[in-house]
Structures are given as structure tokens and as C-alpha cells.
Amino acid sequence: MDEGAFEGTTVLERLAEVGRLDDFMEAVDDDDVGRAVALMRRAGIDDRTIAIVARKMESGDGEH
């Protein structure tokens, strides 16, 4: 996934498919990167995309 084009839609769709979207959104709101990563892994999201999401969460730029 191209980080410049990253919108998160695929991540959210995959989490919704496994019934973990609300848990993920709560982790993001709590800035709980570890929990968010664990939920994404459970949803079968690739490591590169997980790294992008984690980096965005850690940067705290408000765009996640």
C-alpha cells in the first residue's frame, strides 16, 4: 500500500468484517497502538499497512 494514498478504508472494512471495528476505533481514541495493532493482525491486515497505521497513530497528527 502506498503510504501517500493511504486512506484507511481497507483497514476499516477488514475490521468490520471480523466484528472488531468498534474495538479498533476505541483503541485509536485511547491512543493504544498495541491494541490497535493486535486487532489489525486479527483481521488479517498486512504488516506494511499495520506499520502505516501505527506510525500515523504515534505521530498524533490528528489525521487518523
pLDDT tens readout for residues 1-16: 555 555 678 899 999 9
Q: End-to-end CA distance of the chain, in Å?
A: 16
pLDDT tens readout for residues 19-60: 999 999 999 999 999 999 999 999 999 999 999 999 999 987
The model's pTM: 0.81
Q: Give the per-residue pLDDT at 3.
A: 56
Residue with cell 486479527: 42
Q: Give the per-residue pLDDT at 64.
A: 45
At residue 45, what is the residue type?
Answer: I
Cα–Cα distance, 4 to 17 (Å, whole number): 25
At residue 49, what is the residue type?
Answer: T
Q: Give the per-residue pLDDT at 60.
A: 74
Contact 15, 33 (CB under 8 A): no
Q: Which of 56, 22, 55 is nearest to 39 (CA)?
A: 22
